[in-house]
Structure 1
């Protein structure tokens, strides 16, 4: 989407007229031409409009990024999306192919770290990862960096959890949880955090961490359930109930949730859920 198209989409979602959208910032005729692509809007006026209507800037940037990013970055995003799809479908062969392309062609250090660790995890080779990769990973989450608000580092955390010790992982997740509780996010922005917290619960299950011995797990579960009441976020809510049952050892409840999802035609959606 262009900036004008994104503003048009958001305005309709908010149920506003063009006059209501731009009032007090730019004139309605000028704004109408911005939406139609005939006028350019300066950054100051654009952000005034977004902030006035409490539009999440990250959500807005995700709507327009494909239009304005360079060809090289587009290629990286395509590789990343294909890698993520391979992860979701547990297609190790495709995952290895895309990860190798990322490592061979990308200059993005964080994306390379994601690819290396993700591939090692799905091939069962996490213990064989070079110590230097682990050191590079830790550098990205140094105390001085505000990683809890950086999308690239949040995604890196979500994809590299098997490499962290449980103590390190619990510390990072507790910091992230404290941070997100202080803010109110749009559903699109919230999904980024829900995916990370879901990965954390899966990692704890893989490590056979008891829900009774880890308060972080309980707090993460409660947070997800409290923020996923809308239909759009319901899959995260159901997944959390499933993982809670698995972590609690209630296999009958987990199997019932899984069967219900399959009966309703969501077999592909739950393919990556732990069994």
Structure 2
């Protein structure tokens, strides 16, 4: 039984329409495809749907037949990843690798385990290439919190040209300001990581697509930090060291060490 089928069964058991069940958390068109097994639902969105409908997570995972072991493992590792539970992720990854889960789930599990346990360098080249092919094989990947989170945390396995390709794809999306806050926050983090890659690779002109993406984010106070860091890199890359230093001093004034200490 697929996760989408499990959700559909729960929804019908509660006597709810799709609109009533999703509570505006994701779009009806996206959710409809989840139920039909055409879209993958992120861990954050799954947890939000279950919470909104007062569905116990353990009951959801365990209240399935024996033929759905792979789906239970998939849900469990998504939840463990969302909770940053390293030990649990390690255990589940071992189970998934020897299970009858499909290759996409096994690759995703490997990546999740490598990210949380700082072992990206241990992933073989062939596995890295397969992960790259599978990671973005999701409809509207730029609106999928799970895919964005994995991409943000695994950018080290991509070369600069590959990163630029996906950043240019992101820059073409004009509706970024309308997607979920969590997705926009992750996109902002992806852009900051990309700026650092531009700096390391001496490809500062390529940062322009990142500037555009951040400007397309919703004008929300919680996303302002990404615009400030974008302004720093833009000043640094254009040789405006006075402005760049002023931004560093701003971060120091507010004791934001986790920001200014990692900036070049």
TM-score band w.r.t. shorter chain: 0.5 to 0.7
Judge conservation of contact 1:242–1:257 (CA < 8 Å) in 2. Answer: yes
From 110, 113, 133, give the equivalent of 1:112: 110
Matched ranges for 1:64-75 at <5 A: 64-65=49-50, 68-70=56-58, 73=75
Distance 1:174 1:231, change over 3 A: same
Q: Using the alignment, how far apart are the partners of 2:47 and 2:253 within structure 1?
A: 33
1:224 matched residue in structure 2:
214
Judge conservation of contact 1:117–1:163 (CA < 8 Å) in 2. Answer: no
* TM-score, normalised relative to structure 2: 0.61
Q: Using the alignment, how far apart are the partners of 1:253 and 1:64 within structure 2?
A: 44
Larger Rg: 1
What RMSD in Å do the two structures reach over aligned CA positions? 3.9
Q: In the alignment, is residue 248 of structure 1 matched against residue 252 of structure 2?
A: no
* Structure 1, gaps ≥5 residues long: 1-38, 84-97
1:274 matched residue in structure 2:
263
Judge conservation of contact 1:103–1:115 (CA < 8 Å) in 2. Answer: yes
Q: Using the alignment, how far apart are the partners of 1:43 and 1:272 within structure 2?
A: 50
* TM-score, normalised relative to structure 1: 0.59
1:44 matched residue in structure 2:
18
Give the SS at the match of 1:227. Answer: coil
Distance 1:264 1:198, change over 3 A: same
Q: In the alignment, is residue 163 of structure 1 matched against residue 161 of structure 2?
A: no
Distance 1:75 1:163, change over 3 A: closer
Distance 1:162 1:247, change over 3 A: farther
2:148 matched residue in structure 1:
154
* Structure 2, gaps ≥5 residues long: 1-12, 32-41, 62-72, 97-104
Q: Using the alignment, how far apart are the partners of 2:144 and 2:109 within structure 1?
A: 13
Q: CA-to-partner distance for each residue in 1:96-124, whole Å, 9 max, x for gaps?
A: xx3x7634433354243144267256xxx
Q: Using the alignment, how far apart are the partners of 1:152 and 1:272 within structure 2?
A: 28
Tell which has more relative contact order, 1 or 2 (C-alpha 8 A, sep 6+).
1
Deviation of 1:257 after TM superposition, in Å, equals 1.1
2:203 matched residue in structure 1:
209
Judge conservation of contact 2:90–2:113 (CA < 8 Å) in 1. Answer: yes
Give the SS at the match of 2:178. Answer: coil
Aligned residues: 209
